[in-house]
Structure 1
Amino acid sequence: MSELNSSKLNTLSCEACRADAPQVSHQELLELSKEIPDWVSVSRNGVLQLERSFTFKNFRDALAFTNRVGEMAEEQGHHPDLHTTWGKVTVTWWSHSIKGLHKNDFICAAKTDALQ
């Protein structure tokens, strides 16, 4: 995992994720999760995902953050689930093509943290 050394996660770029790309191993999940400590891994319908909620003082700030995440996602070619409400944005990353977590999800989670 040396190429995914955490302090540099937000400087990496996503790679194209094919349907046969490997999901992160349990050991990689533990290792990479240390680099994004505010994110939790959740399983929905058997699919492991990374999720974090961000709080803001109002809807305008929450929406602005949502838009920043959207712009970054477009640049990376990797797109999260975004749920925006008054003063709160919940961001969920996972790789649809492999129905689980890929290193791209950790890279994008770190990039999301940098946008806050």
Structure 2
Amino acid sequence: MSELAQVHCEACRADAPKVTEAEMAELMNMISDWNIETRDGILQLEKVYTFKNYRNALAFTNRVGEVAEAEGHHPALLTEWGKVTVTWWSHKLKGLHRNDFIMAARTDEVLSV
């Protein structure tokens, strides 16, 4: 399990600080194959996972959902035949918080289980 995946999310308030550019660069080095996307001016972490079929993609989606629910931090999940797109961002902040990187690392851990 990665170091980042072992950390728990902290309660996030609307006035919590977003990650700085330096923090973002450091945290991006801790998660592989994630991209930073900007939608409507909001930075988001996104990764596409591929699977052999819809059943496996759906099972992964459900496992990610369980991890998200346990932490109280929820991604956008797009489940399609053979792939799942996972997008993390902090809705209250309208951007990225350390929690998003923690959950990205946890998402990668779900895949390895």
TM-score by length of 1: 0.94
**Is 1:57 paired with 2:72?**
no
Match of 2:18 in 1: 23
Task: State the match for 2:43 in structure 1.
Answer: 48
Q: Take 2:22 and 2:10, find their aligned partners in 1: how far apart are those partners?
A: 21
1:70 aligns with 2:65: yes
Q: Give the corresponding residue for 2:4.
A: 9
Cα distance between partner residues in 2 of 1:31 and 1:10: 15
Name structure 2 gaps, 5 residues minimum: none
Inter-partner Cα distance in structure 2 for 1:77 and 1:14: 8
Report runs of 4+ in structure 1 exceeding 6 Å deviation: none
* Corresponding position: 1:97 with 2:92: yes
Gaps of 5+ in 1: 1-6
Q: Aligned to 1:108, what secondary structure does the other structure show?
A: helix
Partner of 2:80: 85
State the identity as a percent.
64
Aligned residues: 110
Judging by fraction of residues, say which structure has more helix: 1
